[in-house]
Protein backbone atom coordinates (compact mmCIF):
# COMPACT_ATOMS: atom_id res chain seq x y z
CA UNK A 1 0.00 0.00 0.00
CA UNK A 2 1.27 3.44 -0.94
CA UNK A 3 3.06 5.31 1.84
CA UNK A 4 3.24 2.41 4.29
CA UNK A 5 6.20 0.15 5.07
CA UNK A 6 5.83 -3.40 3.79
CA UNK A 7 7.07 -6.12 6.10
CA UNK A 8 7.80 -9.70 5.09
CA UNK A 9 9.09 -11.40 8.24
CA UNK A 10 7.36 -10.71 11.55
CA UNK A 11 8.22 -12.29 14.88
CA UNK A 12 5.26 -12.57 17.24
CA UNK A 13 5.83 -13.51 20.88
CA UNK A 14 2.16 -14.46 21.42
CA UNK A 15 -0.19 -14.87 18.47
CA UNK A 16 -3.78 -16.03 18.06
CA UNK A 17 -3.60 -18.32 15.03
CA UNK A 18 -6.64 -19.77 13.31
CA UNK A 19 -6.20 -23.00 15.30
CA UNK A 20 -5.27 -21.47 18.66
CA UNK A 21 -2.63 -19.47 20.49
CA UNK A 22 1.08 -20.02 19.88
CA UNK A 23 4.29 -18.50 21.21
CA UNK A 24 7.41 -17.16 19.50
CA UNK A 25 6.22 -17.57 15.92
CA UNK A 26 7.63 -16.23 12.65
CA UNK A 27 5.00 -15.04 10.16
CA UNK A 28 6.28 -14.79 6.59
CA UNK A 29 4.43 -12.55 4.15
CA UNK A 30 4.52 -12.37 0.34
CA UNK A 31 4.86 -9.20 -1.71
CA UNK A 32 1.09 -9.50 -2.33
CA UNK A 33 0.44 -9.24 1.41
CA UNK A 34 -0.54 -12.88 1.98
CA UNK A 35 0.80 -15.16 4.68
CA UNK A 36 3.11 -17.77 3.14
CA UNK A 37 4.39 -19.55 6.23
CA UNK A 38 3.96 -19.65 10.00
CA UNK A 39 6.38 -21.50 12.23
CA UNK A 40 8.76 -21.29 15.16
CA UNK A 41 10.89 -18.16 15.08
CA UNK A 42 14.50 -18.87 14.17
CA UNK A 43 17.51 -16.69 14.84
CA UNK A 44 17.10 -14.92 11.51
CA UNK A 45 16.69 -11.23 10.67
CA UNK A 46 13.10 -9.97 10.80
CA UNK A 47 11.43 -6.75 9.70
CA UNK A 48 9.30 -6.37 12.81
CA UNK A 49 9.00 -7.80 16.31
CA UNK A 50 5.57 -7.73 17.97
CA UNK A 51 5.94 -8.31 21.71
CA UNK A 52 2.31 -7.74 22.69
CA UNK A 53 -0.45 -10.28 22.01
CA UNK A 54 -1.24 -10.46 18.29
CA UNK A 55 -4.81 -11.09 17.15
CA UNK A 56 -6.39 -11.19 13.69
CA UNK A 57 -7.60 -7.92 12.22
CA UNK A 58 -11.32 -7.51 12.79
CA UNK A 59 -13.62 -7.26 9.74
CA UNK A 60 -16.07 -4.36 9.84
CA UNK A 61 -18.95 -5.88 7.92
CA UNK A 62 -21.27 -2.85 7.84
CA UNK A 63 -20.28 0.78 7.41
CA UNK A 64 -21.89 3.97 6.15
CA UNK A 65 -18.83 6.23 6.01
CA UNK A 66 -20.81 9.36 5.10
CA UNK A 67 -22.74 9.19 8.38
CA UNK A 68 -19.59 10.11 10.32
CA UNK A 69 -20.60 13.79 10.05
CA UNK A 70 -23.75 12.94 12.00
CA UNK A 71 -22.07 11.14 14.91
CA UNK A 72 -22.98 12.83 18.18
CA UNK A 73 -25.08 15.47 16.43
CA UNK A 74 -28.51 13.87 16.87
CA UNK A 75 -28.85 13.89 20.65
CA UNK A 76 -31.18 16.89 20.88
CA UNK A 77 -34.85 16.11 21.36
CA UNK A 78 -36.94 16.55 18.23
CA UNK A 79 -40.66 17.38 18.14
CA UNK A 80 -42.83 14.31 18.55
CA UNK A 81 -41.44 10.81 18.93
CA UNK A 82 -37.65 10.39 18.87
CA UNK A 83 -36.83 7.10 17.13
CA UNK A 84 -35.11 5.61 14.11
CA UNK A 85 -37.36 7.50 11.71
CA UNK A 86 -36.72 10.93 13.26
CA UNK A 87 -33.00 10.14 13.21
CA UNK A 88 -33.30 9.18 9.53
CA UNK A 89 -34.74 12.62 8.71
CA UNK A 90 -31.66 14.23 10.29
CA UNK A 91 -29.40 11.88 8.35
CA UNK A 92 -31.09 12.87 5.09
CA UNK A 93 -30.57 16.53 5.95
CA UNK A 94 -26.87 15.94 6.62
CA UNK A 95 -26.49 13.99 3.35
CA UNK A 96 -28.09 16.46 1.02
CA UNK A 97 -25.05 18.60 0.17
CA UNK A 98 -22.19 16.07 0.42
CA UNK A 99 -19.98 16.35 -2.68
CA UNK A 100 -17.52 13.75 -3.97
CA UNK A 101 -14.67 15.71 -2.36
CA UNK A 102 -16.61 15.78 0.91
CA UNK A 103 -17.25 12.05 0.83
CA UNK A 104 -13.58 11.31 0.25
CA UNK A 105 -12.59 13.59 3.14
CA UNK A 106 -15.14 12.06 5.52
CA UNK A 107 -14.33 8.47 4.54
CA UNK A 108 -10.57 9.00 4.81
CA UNK A 109 -10.85 10.04 8.45
CA UNK A 110 -13.35 7.38 9.48
CA UNK A 111 -11.31 4.63 7.78
CA UNK A 112 -8.21 5.83 9.67
CA UNK A 113 -10.21 5.82 12.90
CA UNK A 114 -11.26 2.24 12.18
CA UNK A 115 -7.82 0.88 11.40
CA UNK A 116 -6.28 2.53 14.46
CA UNK A 117 -8.68 0.53 16.63
CA UNK A 118 -8.11 -2.84 14.94
CA UNK A 119 -10.47 -3.04 11.97
CA UNK A 120 -8.47 -4.13 8.91
CA UNK A 121 -11.21 -4.65 6.30
CA UNK A 122 -14.43 -2.70 5.91
CA UNK A 123 -17.56 -3.58 3.93
CA UNK A 124 -18.92 -0.20 2.87
CA UNK A 125 -22.70 -0.33 2.33
CA UNK A 126 -22.72 2.52 -0.16
CA UNK A 127 -25.89 4.18 -1.43
CA UNK A 128 -24.91 7.87 -1.76
CA UNK A 129 -24.46 7.44 -5.51
CA UNK A 130 -25.58 10.66 -7.20
CA UNK A 131 -25.51 14.44 -7.00
CA UNK A 132 -28.06 16.37 -4.91
CA UNK A 133 -31.38 16.15 -6.72
CA UNK A 134 -30.50 12.75 -8.16
CA UNK A 135 -28.57 13.84 -11.26
CA UNK A 136 -25.95 11.29 -12.24
CA UNK A 137 -22.31 12.28 -12.15
CA UNK A 138 -20.44 11.99 -15.44
CA UNK A 139 -18.99 8.73 -14.14
CA UNK A 140 -21.69 6.60 -12.53
CA UNK A 141 -19.11 5.30 -10.05
CA UNK A 142 -17.72 8.74 -9.10
CA UNK A 143 -18.67 8.41 -5.43
CA UNK A 144 -17.45 4.81 -5.37
CA UNK A 145 -14.06 5.90 -6.69
CA UNK A 146 -13.78 8.41 -3.84
CA UNK A 147 -14.29 5.62 -1.34
CA UNK A 148 -11.57 3.54 -2.99
CA UNK A 149 -9.21 6.52 -2.77
CA UNK A 150 -10.01 7.16 0.89
CA UNK A 151 -9.43 3.51 1.79
CA UNK A 152 -6.11 3.51 -0.06
CA UNK A 153 -4.95 6.54 1.93
CA UNK A 154 -6.11 4.97 5.20
CA UNK A 155 -4.47 1.62 4.43
CA UNK A 156 -7.62 -0.38 5.09
CA UNK A 157 -8.95 -3.07 2.75
CA UNK A 158 -12.25 -1.96 1.24
CA UNK A 159 -15.04 -4.32 0.21
CA UNK A 160 -17.36 -1.97 -1.65
CA UNK A 161 -21.05 -2.87 -1.64
CA UNK A 162 -22.95 -0.56 -4.00
CA UNK A 163 -26.56 -0.57 -2.87
CA UNK A 164 -29.71 -0.89 -4.97
CA UNK A 165 -32.28 1.58 -3.62
CA UNK A 166 -35.38 2.17 -5.76
CA UNK A 167 -38.48 2.80 -3.64
CA UNK A 168 -39.66 4.58 -0.52
CA UNK A 169 -41.60 1.70 1.04
CA UNK A 170 -43.10 -1.76 0.62
CA UNK A 171 -45.90 -0.22 -1.44
CA UNK A 172 -43.26 0.91 -3.98
CA UNK A 173 -44.01 4.58 -3.49
CA UNK A 174 -41.56 6.91 -5.26
CA UNK A 175 -38.44 8.18 -3.55
CA UNK A 176 -38.58 11.76 -2.32
CA UNK A 177 -36.21 14.64 -1.62
CA UNK A 178 -32.85 13.51 -0.26
CA UNK A 179 -33.56 9.92 -1.35
CA UNK A 180 -33.09 10.84 -5.02
CA UNK A 181 -29.33 10.62 -4.45
CA UNK A 182 -29.71 6.91 -3.70
CA UNK A 183 -31.91 5.97 -6.66
CA UNK A 184 -30.96 3.59 -9.45
CA UNK A 185 -32.96 1.49 -11.84
CA UNK A 186 -31.86 -2.13 -11.81
CA UNK A 187 -30.25 -1.59 -15.23
CA UNK A 188 -28.21 1.37 -13.97
CA UNK A 189 -27.32 -0.48 -10.82
CA UNK A 190 -25.95 -3.47 -12.74
CA UNK A 191 -23.87 -1.09 -14.84
CA UNK A 192 -22.50 0.42 -11.62
CA UNK A 193 -21.76 -3.04 -10.24
CA UNK A 194 -19.73 -3.87 -13.36
CA UNK A 195 -17.72 -0.65 -12.95
CA UNK A 196 -17.04 -1.49 -9.32
CA UNK A 197 -15.97 -5.02 -10.27
CA UNK A 198 -13.55 -3.73 -12.90
CA UNK A 199 -11.98 -1.31 -10.43
CA UNK A 200 -11.78 -3.88 -7.63
CA UNK A 201 -10.06 -6.41 -9.88
CA UNK A 202 -7.09 -4.09 -10.42
CA UNK A 203 -5.82 -4.39 -6.83
CA UNK A 204 -5.59 -7.23 -4.34
CA UNK A 205 -6.59 -5.02 -1.42
CA UNK A 206 -10.00 -4.33 -2.91
CA UNK A 207 -13.13 -6.42 -2.89
CA UNK A 208 -16.74 -5.89 -3.81
CA UNK A 209 -20.19 -7.33 -3.46
CA UNK A 210 -23.83 -6.66 -4.21
CA UNK A 211 -26.38 -5.15 -1.85
CA UNK A 212 -30.03 -4.23 -1.70
CA UNK A 213 -30.93 -1.59 0.84
CA UNK A 214 -33.91 -3.43 2.32
CA UNK A 215 -37.13 -5.14 1.31
CA UNK A 216 -38.91 -1.80 1.66
CA UNK A 217 -36.52 -0.14 -0.84
CA UNK A 218 -36.54 -2.71 -3.67
CA UNK A 219 -39.29 -4.60 -5.45
CA UNK A 220 -39.37 -8.38 -4.94
CA UNK A 221 -38.75 -8.99 -8.63
CA UNK A 222 -35.75 -6.64 -8.58
CA UNK A 223 -34.19 -8.52 -5.68
CA UNK A 224 -34.75 -11.92 -7.28
CA UNK A 225 -33.19 -10.75 -10.57
CA UNK A 226 -30.28 -9.02 -8.83
CA UNK A 227 -29.43 -12.16 -6.88
CA UNK A 228 -29.54 -14.24 -10.06
CA UNK A 229 -27.34 -11.84 -12.04
CA UNK A 230 -24.84 -11.39 -9.21
CA UNK A 231 -24.56 -15.16 -8.80
CA UNK A 232 -24.23 -15.78 -12.54
CA UNK A 233 -21.98 -12.89 -13.60
CA UNK A 234 -20.05 -12.06 -10.44
CA UNK A 235 -19.09 -15.46 -9.06
CA UNK A 236 -19.16 -15.86 -5.29
CA UNK A 237 -19.41 -12.22 -4.19
CA UNK A 238 -21.11 -11.28 -0.91
CA UNK A 239 -24.71 -10.09 -0.89
CA UNK A 240 -25.87 -7.80 1.94
CA UNK A 241 -29.27 -6.40 2.92
CA UNK A 242 -30.81 -4.55 5.88
CA UNK A 243 -33.60 -6.67 7.30
CA UNK A 244 -36.11 -6.48 10.17
CA UNK A 245 -34.37 -3.57 11.90
CA UNK A 246 -37.66 -1.92 12.91
CA UNK A 247 -40.95 -3.48 13.99
CA UNK A 248 -42.99 -1.36 11.58
CA UNK A 249 -40.85 -2.79 8.77
CA UNK A 250 -41.86 -6.28 9.89
CA UNK A 251 -45.52 -5.27 10.11
CA UNK A 252 -45.51 -3.68 6.63
CA UNK A 253 -43.82 -6.74 5.18
CA UNK A 254 -46.49 -9.01 6.64
CA UNK A 255 -49.24 -6.71 5.35
CA UNK A 256 -47.89 -6.41 1.79
CA UNK A 257 -45.84 -9.58 1.21
CA UNK A 258 -47.81 -11.88 3.47
CA UNK A 259 -44.95 -12.97 5.71
CA UNK A 260 -42.07 -11.72 7.87
CA UNK A 261 -38.93 -10.27 6.17
CA UNK A 262 -36.43 -13.04 6.96
CA UNK A 263 -39.03 -15.70 6.22
CA UNK A 264 -39.83 -14.10 2.86
CA UNK A 265 -36.16 -13.83 1.88
CA UNK A 266 -35.39 -17.43 2.76
CA UNK A 267 -38.40 -18.72 0.83
CA UNK A 268 -38.37 -16.45 -2.24
CA UNK A 269 -34.67 -15.85 -2.93
CA UNK A 270 -31.63 -18.08 -3.30
CA UNK A 271 -30.20 -17.24 0.11
CA UNK A 272 -26.97 -19.04 1.03
CA UNK A 273 -23.50 -18.49 2.54
CA UNK A 274 -22.94 -15.36 0.43
CA UNK A 275 -25.63 -13.47 2.30
CA UNK A 276 -25.33 -11.15 5.25
CA UNK A 277 -28.52 -9.98 6.94
CA UNK A 278 -27.81 -6.66 8.62
CA UNK A 279 -29.47 -6.20 12.04
CA UNK A 280 -32.23 -8.85 11.76
CA UNK A 281 -33.31 -7.43 15.11
CA UNK A 282 -36.95 -8.48 15.15
CA UNK A 283 -37.01 -12.16 14.22
CA UNK A 284 -38.75 -15.26 15.53
CA UNK A 285 -37.30 -18.70 16.24
CA UNK A 286 -38.25 -20.14 12.86
CA UNK A 287 -36.36 -17.34 11.12
CA UNK A 288 -33.28 -17.97 13.26
CA UNK A 289 -33.35 -21.60 12.18
CA UNK A 290 -33.76 -20.62 8.51
CA UNK A 291 -30.71 -18.35 8.69
CA UNK A 292 -28.61 -21.07 10.29
CA UNK A 293 -29.78 -23.66 7.74
CA UNK A 294 -28.71 -21.36 4.89
CA UNK A 295 -25.38 -20.37 6.52
CA UNK A 296 -26.34 -16.68 6.60
CA UNK A 297 -24.13 -14.31 8.60
CA UNK A 298 -25.98 -11.78 10.74
CA UNK A 299 -24.37 -8.34 10.78
CA UNK A 300 -24.71 -6.78 14.22
CA UNK A 301 -23.92 -3.13 14.96
CA UNK A 302 -24.47 -2.83 18.71
CA UNK A 303 -23.52 0.82 19.26
CA UNK A 304 -25.67 2.02 16.35
CA UNK A 305 -28.57 -0.26 17.27
CA UNK A 306 -28.43 1.06 20.83
CA UNK A 307 -28.11 4.66 19.65
CA UNK A 308 -31.21 4.31 17.47
CA UNK A 309 -33.21 2.28 19.97
CA UNK A 310 -33.62 -0.61 17.52
CA UNK A 311 -33.72 -3.46 20.01
CA UNK A 312 -31.57 -6.54 20.61
CA UNK A 313 -31.04 -9.42 18.19
CA UNK A 314 -31.40 -12.77 20.05
CA UNK A 315 -27.75 -13.62 19.53
CA UNK A 316 -27.49 -16.06 22.45
CA UNK A 317 -30.21 -18.25 20.96
CA UNK A 318 -28.74 -17.83 17.45
CA UNK A 319 -25.29 -19.01 18.54
CA UNK A 320 -26.80 -21.99 20.35
CA UNK A 321 -28.28 -23.04 16.99
CA UNK A 322 -24.88 -22.74 15.30
CA UNK A 323 -25.34 -19.28 13.79
CA UNK A 324 -22.60 -16.87 12.74
CA UNK A 325 -22.34 -13.15 13.33
CA UNK A 326 -19.97 -10.29 12.59
CA UNK A 327 -19.88 -6.69 13.74
CA UNK A 328 -20.06 -3.33 12.02
CA UNK A 329 -19.60 0.35 12.85
CA UNK A 330 -22.70 1.31 10.80
CA UNK A 331 -23.47 4.98 11.64
CA UNK A 332 -19.94 5.65 13.00
CA UNK A 333 -20.97 6.64 16.53
CA UNK A 334 -18.13 4.26 17.40
CA UNK A 335 -15.16 3.09 15.30
CA UNK A 336 -13.79 0.58 17.80
CA UNK A 337 -14.51 -3.16 17.40
CA UNK A 338 -13.80 -3.83 21.07
CA UNK A 339 -16.65 -1.51 22.08
CA UNK A 340 -19.03 -3.24 19.68
CA UNK A 341 -18.18 -6.65 21.12
CA UNK A 342 -18.43 -5.37 24.68
CA UNK A 343 -21.89 -3.91 24.12
CA UNK A 344 -23.03 -7.05 22.29
CA UNK A 345 -22.18 -9.15 25.35
CA UNK A 346 -23.50 -6.61 27.84
CA UNK A 347 -26.86 -6.41 26.07
CA UNK A 348 -27.32 -10.14 26.51
CA UNK A 349 -26.29 -9.95 30.17
CA UNK A 350 -28.96 -7.35 30.82
CA UNK A 351 -31.61 -9.50 29.14
CA UNK A 352 -30.65 -12.86 30.66
CA UNK A 353 -29.26 -11.72 34.03
CA UNK A 354 -26.12 -13.81 33.51
CA UNK A 355 -22.54 -13.26 32.38
CA UNK A 356 -20.25 -14.71 29.69
CA UNK A 357 -23.11 -15.73 27.44
CA UNK A 358 -21.58 -15.64 23.95
CA UNK A 359 -19.07 -18.48 24.27
CA UNK A 360 -19.30 -22.25 24.22
CA UNK A 361 -18.64 -24.46 27.21
CA UNK A 362 -15.11 -25.32 26.04
CA UNK A 363 -13.98 -21.69 26.06
CA UNK A 364 -12.66 -20.03 29.22
CA UNK A 365 -12.00 -16.50 27.98
CA UNK A 366 -14.87 -14.36 26.73
CA UNK A 367 -12.68 -11.98 24.73
CA UNK A 368 -11.10 -14.86 22.84
CA UNK A 369 -14.52 -16.28 21.95
CA UNK A 370 -15.94 -12.93 20.84
CA UNK A 371 -12.97 -12.12 18.61
CA UNK A 372 -13.08 -15.59 17.06
CA UNK A 373 -16.78 -15.24 16.26
CA UNK A 374 -16.42 -11.72 14.85
CA UNK A 375 -13.50 -12.76 12.64
CA UNK A 376 -15.23 -15.92 11.41
CA UNK A 377 -18.55 -14.27 10.56
CA UNK A 378 -17.02 -11.02 9.36
CA UNK A 379 -14.60 -12.79 7.03
CA UNK A 380 -17.41 -14.80 5.44
CA UNK A 381 -19.55 -11.68 5.01
CA UNK A 382 -16.63 -9.88 3.34
CA UNK A 383 -16.09 -12.72 0.88
CA UNK A 384 -12.87 -13.98 2.46
CA UNK A 385 -12.60 -17.78 2.29
CA UNK A 386 -9.77 -18.07 4.84
CA UNK A 387 -10.41 -17.04 8.42
CA UNK A 388 -7.94 -15.51 10.84
CA UNK A 389 -4.15 -15.79 10.86
CA UNK A 390 -3.35 -18.76 8.65
CA UNK A 391 -1.29 -19.56 5.57
CA UNK A 392 -2.85 -18.09 2.44
CA UNK A 393 -4.87 -15.46 4.30
CA UNK A 394 -4.18 -11.71 4.15
CA UNK A 395 -1.52 -10.68 6.66
CA UNK A 396 -3.86 -8.62 8.84
CA UNK A 397 -2.32 -8.51 12.32
CA UNK A 398 -3.25 -6.40 15.34
CA UNK A 399 -0.82 -6.08 18.24
CA UNK A 400 -2.35 -5.14 21.58
CA UNK A 401 -0.52 -2.54 23.64
CA UNK A 402 0.54 -4.21 26.88
CA UNK A 403 2.26 -0.97 27.93
CA UNK A 404 -1.23 0.41 28.52
CA UNK A 405 -2.13 0.21 32.24
CA UNK A 406 -5.41 -1.44 31.28
CA UNK A 407 -3.65 -4.32 29.49
CA UNK A 408 -0.28 -4.58 31.25
CA UNK A 409 0.73 -7.40 33.60
CA UNK A 410 -1.65 -9.85 31.95
CA UNK A 411 -1.33 -13.06 29.98
CA UNK A 412 -2.20 -12.86 26.28
CA UNK A 413 -5.71 -14.19 26.91
CA UNK A 414 -6.23 -11.84 29.85
CA UNK A 415 -5.04 -8.91 27.74
CA UNK A 416 -7.55 -9.84 25.04
CA UNK A 417 -10.33 -9.97 27.65
CA UNK A 418 -9.19 -6.60 28.94
CA UNK A 419 -9.17 -5.07 25.44
CA UNK A 420 -12.82 -5.99 25.02
CA UNK A 421 -14.10 -5.28 28.52
CA UNK A 422 -11.74 -2.68 30.00
CA UNK A 423 -9.73 -1.22 27.15
CA UNK A 424 -8.88 2.37 26.27
CA UNK A 425 -8.08 4.33 23.13
CA UNK A 426 -4.40 3.32 23.39
CA UNK A 427 -5.10 -0.42 23.54
CA UNK A 428 -3.83 -1.12 19.98
CA UNK A 429 -0.13 -0.58 19.28
CA UNK A 430 0.53 -1.97 15.79
CA UNK A 431 -1.71 -2.82 12.84
CA UNK A 432 -0.64 -4.62 9.68
CA UNK A 433 -3.01 -4.72 6.72
CA UNK A 434 -1.94 -7.14 4.00
CA UNK A 435 1.61 -6.91 5.26
CA UNK A 436 1.75 -3.11 5.35
CA UNK A 437 2.47 -1.43 8.69
CA UNK A 438 -0.44 0.99 8.81
CA UNK A 439 -0.42 1.83 12.53
CA UNK A 440 2.82 2.16 14.53
CA UNK A 441 2.88 2.90 18.26
CA UNK A 442 -0.82 3.70 18.01
CA UNK A 443 -0.29 6.37 15.36
CA UNK A 444 -1.26 6.64 11.69
CA UNK A 445 0.87 8.78 9.38
CA UNK A 446 -2.15 10.32 7.64
CA UNK A 447 -4.24 11.14 10.69
CA UNK A 448 -3.28 14.81 11.16
CA UNK A 449 -3.98 15.85 7.58
CA UNK A 450 -7.13 13.72 7.40
CA UNK A 451 -8.43 15.38 10.57
CA UNK A 452 -7.81 18.89 9.22
CA UNK A 453 -9.60 18.09 5.97
CA UNK A 454 -12.51 16.49 7.81
CA UNK A 455 -12.96 19.47 10.11
CA UNK A 456 -13.09 21.83 7.13
CA UNK A 457 -15.64 19.56 5.46
CA UNK A 458 -17.68 19.25 8.64
CA UNK A 459 -17.82 23.02 9.11
CA UNK A 460 -18.92 23.62 5.54
CA UNK A 461 -21.62 20.96 5.70
CA UNK A 462 -23.02 22.03 9.07
CA UNK A 463 -22.94 25.70 8.08
CA UNK A 464 -24.89 24.98 4.89
CA UNK A 465 -27.29 22.43 6.43
CA UNK A 466 -27.68 23.01 10.18
CA UNK A 467 -29.06 20.00 12.02
Q: Active-site positions?
A: 279, 330
- Which letter does DSSP use for residue 126 in this model? E
Angstrom CA distances, 126 to 209, 293, 405, 426, stand at 11, 28, 38, 30
DSSP assignment of 375-444, as one string?
HHHHHHHTT-SS-SS-TTSB--EEEE-TTSTTTTT--HHHHHHHHHHH--TT-EEEEEETTEEEEBTTB-
Q: How far apart are CA 188 and CA 183, in angstroms?
A: 9
Q: Give 154's Cβ-side CA count (13 Å radius).
A: 32
Q: How far apart are CA 419 and CA 274, in angstroms?
A: 30
CA 38 from chain center: how many Å? 28
Partner residues linked to 39 by β-bridges = 26
Burial classification of residue 113, based on how many CB atoms lie within 10 Å of its CB (0-12 exposed, 13-18 middle, 19 or more buried): buried
In terms of Cα–Cα distance, which of 395, 428, 410, 367 is closest to 29? 395
Query: How many C-beta atoms surround the C-beta of residue 362 within 10 A?
Result: 6
Q: How far apart are CA 123 and CA 60, in angstroms?
A: 6
Q: How many residues does the chain have?
A: 467
In terms of Cα–Cα distance, which of 173, 175, 171 is closest to 183? 175
Instruction: Return the CA Rg of the chain.
Output: 21
Asked if residues 318 and 292 have their Cβ atoms less than 8 Å apart, the reply is yes
Q: Which residues contact 263 (CB under 8 A, 6 or more apart)?
A: 286, 287, 290
Q: How far apart are CA 426 and CA 404, in angstroms?
A: 7
Angstrom CA distances, 453 to 115, 146, 310, 447, 457, stand at 18, 14, 33, 10, 6
Percentages (nearest 5) of helix, strand, coil residues in the chain: 40, 20, 40
β-pairing, 35-40 vs 20-29, is antiparallel
Amino acid sequence: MAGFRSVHRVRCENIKLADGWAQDQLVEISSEGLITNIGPADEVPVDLVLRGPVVPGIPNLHSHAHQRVLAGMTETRTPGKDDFWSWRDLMYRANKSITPDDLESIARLVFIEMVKQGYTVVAEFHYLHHAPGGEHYLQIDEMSQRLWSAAEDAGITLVLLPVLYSYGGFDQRPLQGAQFRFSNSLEDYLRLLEKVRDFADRRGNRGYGAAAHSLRAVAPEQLIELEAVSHRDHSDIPFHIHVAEQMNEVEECIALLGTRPVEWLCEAVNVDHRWCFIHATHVVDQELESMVDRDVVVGLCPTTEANLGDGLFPVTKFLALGGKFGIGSDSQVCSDPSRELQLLEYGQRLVHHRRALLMNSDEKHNGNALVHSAVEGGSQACGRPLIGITVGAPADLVELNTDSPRLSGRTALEALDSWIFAGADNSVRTVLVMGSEVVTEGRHIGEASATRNFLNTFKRLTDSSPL
